[in-house]
Structure 1
């Protein structure tokens, strides 16, 4: 058994994975993009959000989870997602794509607006069960990632680390990056004590993440 702090989350058993798959391949739609708190939908269902620095693969991950290539719009331009984007999953969940932090090429005033909205959002959603902080497996935790983790700590929002692009990390670098991620997570009281590794390209880890989200209902 893995006794490391922040172990890799195990693959769910077949029955749980299949129930989660059916949830995610069912009805899912883009609901709205939100730029102010008064635009948020009713806080009446389980909500999970995805946070990550620009180009970490948030949109690609949401598309992989739902099996819909064009549901969340991926972009090669850092900072393109400038709204809190809401997706409905059946009648039980909201999936929320947060603006990519780092905000490359954005005016300072706009960055401050996004940061203020993010803080208000995290503090004000009763149904928000978990934030998933996406980290590029090739690079590990950066300073800007720790900033969002500290914000989640302060907002008392449980977050779970999701390593993206697992298919692109070199085998020789895997243990080193995992050790660095575990060391950084240990400093954050809001961190959930398991890590999920994923690849939107190969599908690795997607059944696991689906099962986690489905189990939060």
Structure 2
């Protein structure tokens, strides 16, 4: 259901969005067309909740309290596009499988990892990855490993802190400063850290603006 009270300076985010495809392997990727921005992060970091909050549609991206629920690349586009040549949406949002879920079977983890990183290395229309970091934990070992891989793949990415409502408000600027210091060694990292709360709707407009600008630069 769309939030009727949502307001934004970025009209694309207040129109209806739809789920178009789940991609379990590279063979099922949609044809390259619209520019793509993807959301990565540890399992249960709040990727699906953040996507839903960005577009004001509860239930667009499936959310779960069970880590590892998202096992595919899930594609979302603004409603009203046929997908035919000449009728492509201006961009697509991609919800990527979470990483770092230790309880999943190794074969499953390996399959997810191959899918995600094959996508990162081989998708020409991918313009930026938003790497979500839980504010309660900061950048952890698994996160740093992913940032290093993104550097090697030369994929532009930006850090987005999630669940800032779960920590003291005074701690947010300090966490942003600490995170900026940690990403200095990562050449593909965008030198600005965003902070968000899906529950409180904090930082969503700033993230919409960042996504819009990234897509404009990719045109």
TM-score, length-scaled by structure 2? 0.86
TM-score, length-scaled by structure 1? 0.87
Q: Separation in 2 of the partners of 1:122 and 1:180?
A: 26
CA-atom RMSD, angstroms?
Answer: 1.4
Alpha-carbon distance, 1:198 to partner: 0.7
Is contact 1:138–1:177 with CA below 8 Å preserved after alignment? no
1:146-194 deviation line (CA, Å, top 9, x unaligned): 0111111111000000011112211353344233312221111110011
2:27 is the alignment partner of 1:38: yes
Gaps of 5+ in 2: 1-7, 80-88
Aligned partner (choices 93, 100, 103) of residue 102 of structure 1: 100
Relative contact order (alpha carbons < 8 A, sep ≥ 6): 1 or 2 greater? Answer: 1
- Equivalent residue, structure 2, for 1:187: 185
Gaps of 5+ in 1: 1-16
Q: Separation in 1 of the partners of 2:58 and 2:37?
A: 20
Aligned partner (choices 113, 116, 124) of residue 115 of structure 1: 113
- 1:74-153 map, 5 Å: 74-89=63-78, 91-153=89-151
- Equivalent residue, structure 2, for 1:27: 16
- Equivalent residue, structure 1, for 2:45: 56
- Equivalent residue, structure 2, for 1:204: 202
Alpha-carbon distance, 1:211 to partner: 1.5
Q: Separation in 1 of the partners of 2:190 and 2:99?
A: 21
Q: Separation in 2 of the partners of 1:162 and 1:67?
A: 18
Q: Number of residues paired by the alignment?
A: 199
**Which shows bigger deviation, 117-126 or 169-178?**
169-178
- Equivalent residue, structure 2, for 1:68: 57
Q: Separation in 2 of the partners of 1:129 and 1:175?
A: 27
